[in-house]
Structure 1
Amino acid sequence: MLITIGIIIGLLIVAYFAFVNFYPSFGGDVSKERQSQYTDSSQFEEGKFKNDKDVPKDPTFSEILSMTRKFFFTKVEKGRPSEELPNHTVDSLSLVSYHGGTRLMWFGHSAFLLQMNGKNILIDPMLGEVPAPHPLLGAKRFNEELPIAIEKLPKIDAVLISHDHYDHLDYKSIKSLKNKVNQFYVPLGVGVHLEAWGVPQDKIQELDWWQDTSLEDLRFVCTPAQHFSGRKFSNGQSTLWASWVIQSETESIFFSGDSGYANHFKEIGEAYGPFDFAMLECGQYNKLWPDIHMFPEETAQAGIDLKANVIMPIHWGAFKLALHSWTDPIERVAIKANSLGLPMIAPKIGAMIELNSLLANHQEDWWD
């Protein structure tokens, strides 16, 4: 019996390593040579990136088992919507021919198309069905159809990536997009995944926190977040995670990526605020991981810290990645934002978000 159990465990280990090493969605690995390029970063220490606070703590094996059991076997009331969510269909010609003011379109979760100063910018374009390395390892997106198919998107001037988790960096999405993208902007280390998927090095620019770069008349600033990284058990914290500031001469936008609540929001607000618009994570939280995702009340407070004129809750409305109901994030953040006197919008998926009239058309509680 012991020999049989040992053989089964051995086969499972072999199968895991074969899967990880040969299945492309896991991406690349940061080599020792590449790590030497990151030694000047204050976030890089002993071969890994770190937060300013000593979080998150590595869970014990028993804690991992406990979280896994809760996630897969806890019944969550309204964990998923009972029907497809309202979804605006977007015509490709309307995107190609657009020459107006700054606007955004939400794909759900944290994915956006930003049209600004005549440029098309994708932010965390996870446009796949399942946020996992294989379709059998995760639950599908709430909606079967996107507002627009990847193939119908116009030429993309820039892609901004916040970190390498599957619900933000998707192998199939990048493979479909890479030939129509001029430049990828990513935190330190994330370029290894893009390179593994065939994106040329000269199309990738890696940035550390507080570094900035320009795309003609636009400025991108890689700013802090409190999170973590990794696409498999063996490469946790091997790449950096970040938020992004996007600025033109007259407008300023903030995108949080994934982050727990911490002092960096005030620091970013002091350095680059006030912001016309802030997209702030609000979903997939739990008391088991309070340092890496914000609770809705913290999302609203982060908007205050950033000096945001208007906020939009993101990281919800597409996937079930935690144990709260799918409407809990938007219901709670709306109450807190109202109590703080902070303007908030919650547009439907695919609806156009005009920066010069943010509060005009997005006040409907459509999730009800």
Structure 2
Amino acid sequence: MLYLIGLILFVTLFYLLFVTFYPNFGANISKERKQLYRQSTQFNDGIFHNKTMHQFSHANVIGKLKIAYKFYFKKSPKCTPQHNLPIKKLDPVEVENYQGPSRLFWYGHSAFLLQIDGKNILLDPMLAKVAAPHKWLGSNRYHIELPLEIEDLPPINAVIFSHDHYDHLDYKSVRRLKDKTEHFFVPLGVGAHLEAWGITKEKITELDWWQTITYKGLELICTPAQHFSGRKVTNNMETLWCSWSIISPKERIFFSGDGGYTDQFKEIGNKFGPFDLALMECGQYDEMWRNVHMVPEESIQAGVDVQAKQLLPMHWATFRLALHSWTDPIERAKKKAEELNLPIITPMIGEEVIIGDTKKHYSQWWKSVE
């Protein structure tokens, strides 16, 4: 019994020291910040809430343990590709000097380099090798290289984050982007992490759902999502999560972030659509957490709801964060898109996507690496 008590105390102490001093975990949200967030209709009882659902089972400790058991001990075929995924490398000089039509490059998962209206924008630039607080706690991404390393990127006008989960907000990526980025746009609370990692307050703008800001001629709208947040066992829902609508004088782009299927997509489409391109979450799903991550058929329906002219499935082909096969998201999404007559584009990681180009053909590149 004494040995057991000693072990429990040791593990507890190790955890407390680990989350307190290891910077990857980010900041604690202070009482002063929470006082400010009381003005948000999403904030109540010290945490943020979804519009149409209450707290969900896997956001608590027991729910997380159930998921961890299923993830680590249940085998599933073809969860990861047998070989590193192919990518297209970019020319840093061409990217920095680009003056053509608006375009973007997928970095895998939910990360994009967007060049729009002469601006360089990064969306959820999680560019590290492992989507976890420590490399021992996760598996490596499916592709070793990036289309363009952070140090080779041109000056970045804005970095936009959707929420604070490890597969979207990464400490090392932020630190490497800190000095080459003009401004960071985040939902309420996420700025606390950036400040803890050395970003000055003047370079951070926090927005609530439906708030809009104009930055260098671009309209950035923090739009709703049905998800959750947290980087530690003890701080769930203390920062907000969102999707983003990005509007230039010529294009409209929707970036879903993470979330379950909800009628909020129709609301966003009616207010800000039609969108020339929707970057829509499509991967890392399971029936256990379907209310906060769409299955592919719902992702395509969400694209219809936001009135997208084209849809690019994201949140797949980079990290193993669920139990489905790694190609299941794209195969199911393509099938449903054909049924609903929604054009779907499937670029390789690093392949150029011209916004509004309806003629370019994209290969089924994943079939060669199954």
TM tier relative to shorter chain: over 0.9
Structure-2 residue corresponding to 1:36 = 35
How far apart, in 2, do the equivalents of 1:358 and 1:218 lie? 23
How far apart, in 2, do the equivalents of 1:349 and 1:64 lie? 31
Q: Does 1:5 align with 2:27?
A: no
| Kept in 2: contact 1:25–1:171 (CA 8 A) | yes
Q: CA deviation at 1:168?
A: 0.2
| Kept in 1: contact 2:277–2:356 (CA 8 A) | no
3-state DSSP class of the match of 1:288?
helix
352-361 or 85-94, which deviates more = 352-361
Q: CA deviation at 1:62?
A: 4.9
Structure-2 residue corresponding to 1:86 = 86
Structure-1 residue corresponding to 2:304 = 304
Q: CA deviation at 1:40?
A: 1.1
Q: Does 1:294 align with 2:294?
A: yes
3-state DSSP class of the match of 1:357?
coil
How far apart, in 1, do the equivalents of 2:61 and 2:136 lie? 23
| Kept in 2: contact 1:165–1:230 (CA 8 A) | yes
Structure-2 residue corresponding to 1:242 = 242
| Kept in 2: contact 1:282–1:295 (CA 8 A) | yes
After superposition, what is the alpha-carbon deviation per residue over 1:169-217, rounded to whole angstroms, capped at 9, x for unaligned?
0000000001000000000000000000000000000000000101121
How far apart, in 1, do the equivalents of 2:118 and 2:68 lie? 45
- Mapping for residues 41-120 of structure 1, pairs under 5 Å: 41-59=40-58, 62-120=62-120
Q: CA deviation at 1:356?
A: 3.3
Q: CA deviation at 1:234?
A: 1.3
Q: 1:313 to 1:56 in 2, by over 3 A?
A: farther
| Kept in 2: contact 1:345–1:359 (CA 8 A) | no
Q: CA deviation at 1:53?
A: 1.8
> Quick one: which amino acid aligns to residue 24 of structure 1?
P
How far apart, in 2, do the equivalents of 1:347 and 1:147 lie? 13
How far apart, in 1, do the equivalents of 2:181 and 2:253 lie? 21
| Kept in 2: contact 1:104–1:115 (CA 8 A) | yes
How far apart, in 2, do the equivalents of 1:65 and 1:155 lie? 42
Q: CA deviation at 1:306?
A: 0.5
| Kept in 2: contact 1:123–1:161 (CA 8 A) | yes
How far apart, in 1, do the equivalents of 2:320 and 2:269 lie? 30
| Kept in 2: contact 1:55–1:291 (CA 8 A) | no
Q: 1:226 to 1:283 in 2, by over 3 A?
A: same
3-state DSSP class of the match of 2:244?
strand
After superposition, what is the alpha-carbon deviation per residue over 1:58-84, rounded to whole angstroms, capped at 9, x for unaligned?
446554333211100111111000111
Structure-1 residue corresponding to 2:144 = 144
How far apart, in 1, do the equivalents of 2:365 and 2:338 lie? 17
| Kept in 2: contact 1:101–1:356 (CA 8 A) | no
How far apart, in 2, do the equivalents of 1:285 and 1:359 lie? 31
After superposition, what is the alpha-carbon deviation per residue over 1:104-151, rounded to whole angstroms, capped at 9, x for unaligned?
000000000000111100000000000000011101100111111111
| Kept in 2: contact 1:297–1:333 (CA 8 A) | yes
Percent identical among aligned pairs is 51
How far apart, in 2, do the equivalents of 1:141 and 1:167 lie? 10
Q: 1:39 to 1:63 in 2, by over 3 A?
A: closer
| Kept in 1: contact 2:303–2:311 (CA 8 A) | yes
Structure-2 residue corresponding to 1:172 = 172
How far apart, in 2, do the equivalents of 1:308 and 1:350 lie? 22
How far apart, in 2, do the equivalents of 1:309 and 1:357 lie? 10
> Quick one: which amino acid aligns to residue 201 of structure 1?
K
Structure-2 residue corresponding to 1:202 = 202
How far apart, in 2, do the equivalents of 1:65 and 1:237 lie? 18
| Kept in 2: contact 1:143–1:318 (CA 8 A) | yes
After superposition, what is the alpha-carbon deviation per residue over 1:30-61, rounded to whole angstroms, capped at 9, x for unaligned?
10011111111110001100001224414465
After TM superposition, the score normalised by the length of structure 2 is 0.97
Q: Does 1:272 align with 2:283?
A: no
How far apart, in 1, do the equivalents of 2:190 and 2:67 lie? 27
How far apart, in 1, do the equivalents of 2:19 and 2:309 lie? 44
Structure-2 residue corresponding to 1:218 = 218
Structure-1 residue corresponding to 2:229 = 229
Structure-2 residue corresponding to 1:189 = 189
| Kept in 1: contact 2:101–2:116 (CA 8 A) | yes
> Quick one: which amino acid aligns to residue 199 of structure 1?
I
Q: CA deviation at 1:359?
A: 4.2
After TM superposition, the score normalised by the length of structure 1 is 0.98
> Quick one: which amino acid aligns to residue 333 of structure 1?
A
Q: 1:349 to 1:56 in 2, by over 3 A?
A: farther
Q: CA deviation at 1:161?
A: 0.2
Q: CA deviation at 1:249?
A: 1.5
| Kept in 1: contact 2:61–2:233 (CA 8 A) | no
Matched residue pairs, number? Answer: 366
Q: CA deviation at 1:361?
A: 3.2
Unmatched segments (≥5 aa) in structure 2 = none
3-state DSSP class of the match of 2:12?
helix
Q: Does 1:330 align with 2:330?
A: yes
How far apart, in 2, do the equivalents of 1:55 and 1:197 lie? 32
| Kept in 2: contact 1:56–1:292 (CA 8 A) | no
Q: CA deviation at 1:358?
A: 4.3
3-state DSSP class of the match of 2:35?
helix
How far apart, in 2, do the equivalents of 1:353 and 1:120 lie? 14
| Kept in 2: contact 1:110–1:314 (CA 8 A) | yes
Unmatched segments (≥5 aa) in structure 1 = none
**How big is the alpha-carbon RMSD for the aligned residues of Structure 1 and Structure 2?**
1.0
